Structure 1
Amino acid sequence: MIVTKYLYFRYEDATPGSLTRLRAFNVDREKLARVAVKYNLHRYLRHKKPLLEDQILKFAKDIEKYPLHSRHLLETPKTLADIVESTIGALYTDCDSFETVCKVVKPLLEPIIPLDKLENHPVTELNEMCQKKNLKLKFDDNTWEVDKTVRVFIKDHLVGHGHHLVKKDIAKNCAAQNALDKFSHTFPQI
């Protein structure tokens, strides 16, 4: 609600669709997890899960490559986002004032991703590009269980691949980004 209110008044002329996408990127799991890392909230988490600790450290390192958002190319530990959500909920429960919560939380969420920096999800961007150019697009995850790889074919040509050991959707996002990065070399005439 805090981000929605801020964005609504900040971008009064934006379309409802743009505002919805902008809000989604500013309050999704990755954005909230970034807040937890930025303020070292994860250090106060008591757990006995070495794997979680490794995931958090990897996430903290990986976000350095993406200053605002990775567009779903990174595995984001849900626990980090949960810490921030529960902290906001506890703050509201304690003070019972939406305005106070806004004053405290908005600076925590900085930087807010602005409308001019909003990018499409890699799969969406690749789909739209192929539709505009009337190109047949296919994601192949048939070998996922074997090699943890998703492949992208355009016009029956392998143009990209993505790999992730745990999550197929992240592998698919990486494959789409890989195909987007190679698109102009693969199809220079288009």
Structure 2
Amino acid sequence: MEPRVIAAVEDKIGYQFRNKKLLEEALTHSSFTHAVSYQRLEFIGDSILSSMICNHFYLAYPTFDPGQLSLLRAANVSTEKLARVAIHRRLHLYVRHSSPPLVQSVKAFVDAVAQEDPLRPISYGGAVKAPKVLSDIVESVVGAVYVDLNFNIEKLWVTVRAMLEPIVTPEDMEHQPVTKLFELCQKNGKKIDIKPCRNGDKSIANVYVDGEFVASASSDQKYTAKLEAVNIALHKLSHLESLSTSKMVEDNDNFTIEEAKHKLYEACRVKKWPKPVYSIEKDSGPSHDKKFISSVQITTEDDVFQMSGDEKSRVKEAESSAASLMIRALQQMNYL
């Protein structure tokens, strides 16, 4: 590996190696048969990274129980989280390998990460599955620094913590999938149940909403299976999320929801109801100062609902007002 490449990687991770060969090894995939791969460094890096994260949260949150600490550790060392560290530090550009499929999978992930907020930690359930090679090289680089520091864990944490940012905190965990799913179902009057089971060496998590099966996932680790199943469930229940998190505004008794017509249409599509039908109930005033009142009609499996909106100066605004009031009414009646 050329000295300029070594220097570039050292600059990105904020550490100057005494033994440059360690960094070369840390960036060598097993498909690259002309040199020793990163597997041994990944092995020790995986273990020591987990220990450092444990130490950090144990000291930072003295009142947390083992379950809370385990969730924080898992979120900070997950494949998704570490793969994003590799991308943000651009370590993927320096991996030595001989695997064309690896290039394709990494590119797809890089493109997906480019659409995300870099300050928002994502530990599970990104748009594209993270290639394991990316988390491997972060662990192997951590392992290489650890060995180069003569196995000094305190110096290692000081050295690599900045590279691992953003660290997932308890505040971030409040927005993690499990909490988000429970809050979403609670807001919509639905009961959520996550049932674990095993199939041989695999842990399986099944998600049920109001007693109906919604999603399932399996993994070697129980918590990973649970979080993957929850992410699948959140995706399937996204129509509920769009309604429950809609920005609502009340101004002089006029109630509106942003993009109400689109949200109402999507709710009907998911429920397999006919699409909403809009009608102009009132059209008054001179041509330069027209006023409109629109109504919307919804047909469910067992009933027909009609709702009139507030008076507006444009037809689209009048229809949006009717749609907003219809959404609120359906939510209050637990139809949504």
Which among 239, 262, 268 is matched to residue 182 of structure 1? 239
Kept after mapping to 2: 8 A contact 1:8/1:19: yes
Instruction: Tell whether the 8 Å contact from 1:123 to 1:176 is kept in structure 2 after alignment.
Output: no
Q: How far apart in 2 are the matches of 1:57 and 1:171?
A: 22
What's the counterpart of residue 32 of structure 1?
Answer: 82
Q: Residue 102 of structure 2 corresponds to which residue in structure 1? A: 52
| Distance in 1 between residues matched to 2:192 and 2:63, nearest whole Å | 34
Residue of structure 2 equivalent to 1:112: 167
Q: How many Å separate the matches in 1 of 2:174 and 2:102?
A: 29
Residue 144 (structure 2) aligns with: 90
On the 8 A contact 1:71/1:120 being kept in 2, the answer is no
Residues 43-52 or 74-83, more deviating: 43-52
Offset at residue 49 of structure 1 (A): 2.1
1:114–1:155 CA distance, 2 compared to 1 (3 A): closer
Q: Give the counterpart of 2:116 among 48, 53, 65.
A: 65
Tell me: CA distance 1:21–1:102, structure 2 relative to 1, closer, same or farther (3 Å). Answer: same
Question: How far 1:71 sits from its partner (Å)?
Answer: 2.4
Rate the CA distance shift 1:176–1:119 in 2: closer, same or farther, 3 A. farther
Equivalent position to 2:60, from 2, 5, 10: 10
Q: Which has the higher helix share?
A: 1
| Equivalent position amino acid for 1:85 in 2 | E
What is the aligned counterpart of 2:129 among 75, 86, 92? 75
For the 8 Å contact 1:123–1:172, the answer to whether it is kept is: no
Shift of 1:89: 1.2
3-state secondary structure, aligned to 2:109: helix
* Aligned-pair identity (%): 34
User: What TM-score does the superposition give when structure 1 sets the normalisation length?
Assistant: 0.70
1:119–1:44 CA distance, 2 compared to 1 (3 A): same
> C-alpha separation between the residues in 1 aligned to 2:194 and 2:170?
28
Deviations 1:133-161 (A, max 9, x none): 546889xxxxxxxxxxxxx8745879x78
Partners of 1:2 and 1:106 within 8 A in 2: no
Query: How far did residue 14 of structure 1 move?
Result: 2.3
Tell me by how many angstroms 1:20 deviates. Answer: 1.1
Q: TM-score, normalised by structure 2?
A: 0.42
Relative to 1, partners in 2 of residues 1:51 and 1:124: Cα closer, same or farther, differing over 3 Å? Answer: farther
Matched, 1:99 2:149: no
User: Does the 8 Å contact 2:192/2:210 carry over to 1?
Assistant: yes
Distance in 2, Cα, partners of 1:156 & 1:111: 37
Query: For residues 29 and 89 of structure 1, do their structure 2 counterparts lie closer, same or farther at Cα, with a shift above 3 Å needed?
Result: same
Amino acid across the alignment from 1:49: S
Q: Which runs of 5+ in 2 are unaligned?
A: 1-50, 196-206, 216-224, 245-266, 272-329
| Code of the aligned partner of 1:176 | A
1:39-91 Cα shifts (integer Å, max 9, x gaps)? 11111111222221121122122123253105223301110111111111122
Please give the per-residue CA displacement for 1:7-43, whole angstroms capped at 9, x wherever unaligned.
Answer: 1222222232122101110111111111111111111
CA 1:86–1:13: 2 relative to 1, 3 Å: same
Matched pairs, number: 170
Q: Which runs of 5+ in 1 are unaligned?
A: 139-151, 162-168
By how many angstroms is 1:173 displaced?
A: 5.3
Q: Is the 8 A contact 1:35 1:108 kept in 2?
A: yes
